[in-house]
Amino acid sequence: MKYGYRLSKLNEVKNIALIAHDSKKSELIEWVQKHEKPLAPHKLAGTGTTANLIEQHTKLSVKGFKSGPLGGDLQVGAAIAEEEIDLMIFFWDPLEAQPHDPDVKALLRIAALYDIPVAPNKATADFIISSRFFNDEYERKIVTKEFHPITLK
C-alpha cells in the first residue's frame, strides 16, 4: 500500500504531553522541576495523576486527561491525531508490564504516524528540550493514506 505525506507546522509554542508510568513519576517530576523555566511558555497536558503531581510540585499549569489505564493514553492519542499535541514526554517503564500496554502501544504508534517527538526517558527528554526546535517552528511530515477507489462487480 502506498502512503502519502503532508506537511504540518509546529509553532514556537508547543502543546506538550507529560506522561509517566507509576515507577517513573518521581523521575518525570524531577525532570520537569529542573526544566520548569523552559517549559513555562508552552501549553502542557498530562494524564491523571501525573498532571496533578506536576501541578503540586511546580508552578506550571497542566491540563489533565484521565488516568492512563482509565483511557488517558487514548485521550492523548486522540489529541495527537487532532494535531493538538506537538511533543510527548512519556517516561515509561520497559521492565514492568502495564494493564494498558495495548493503549501505550497505540499511543506510540499514533505519535510516530503524526511525526511528533517522543521522549521515553530522561536522556531523550534532555536532548529534545535542548534542541533549537524546542522553541522554534518545525515542519513535520504526517503520513496520509492515498485513496484507491474499489470497483465492485
Please report, in tens digits, the pLDDT of each residue of the chain (153 residues total).
677 888 999 999 999 999 998 999 999 999 999 999 999 999 999 999 999 999 999 999 999 999 888 888 899 999 999 999 999 999 988 767 666 677 788 889 999 999 999 999 999 999 999 999 999 999 999 988 765 556 565
pLDDT, residue 78, reads: 95
Instruction: Give the Å distances, CA to CA, from 145 to 37, 83, 90, 95, 113.
Output: 39, 17, 27, 34, 11
Angle formed by the axes of helices 25-34 and 122-129, nearest 10°:
20
Residue with grid cell 511558555, as numbered in its chain:
41
Catalytically annotated residue among 73, 86, 101, 126: 73
CA atoms within 13 A on the CB side of 10: 25
pLDDT, residue 91, reads: 95
Domains and CATH numbers, the chain: 3-145 (3.40.50.1380)
Cβ count within 10 A of residue 89: 27
Angle formed by the axes of helices 72-81 and 101-113, nearest 10°:
10
Rounded Cα gap, residues 145 and 131, in angstroms: 30
pLDDT, residue 128, reads: 98
- Tell me, yes or no, if 73 is annotated catalytic: yes
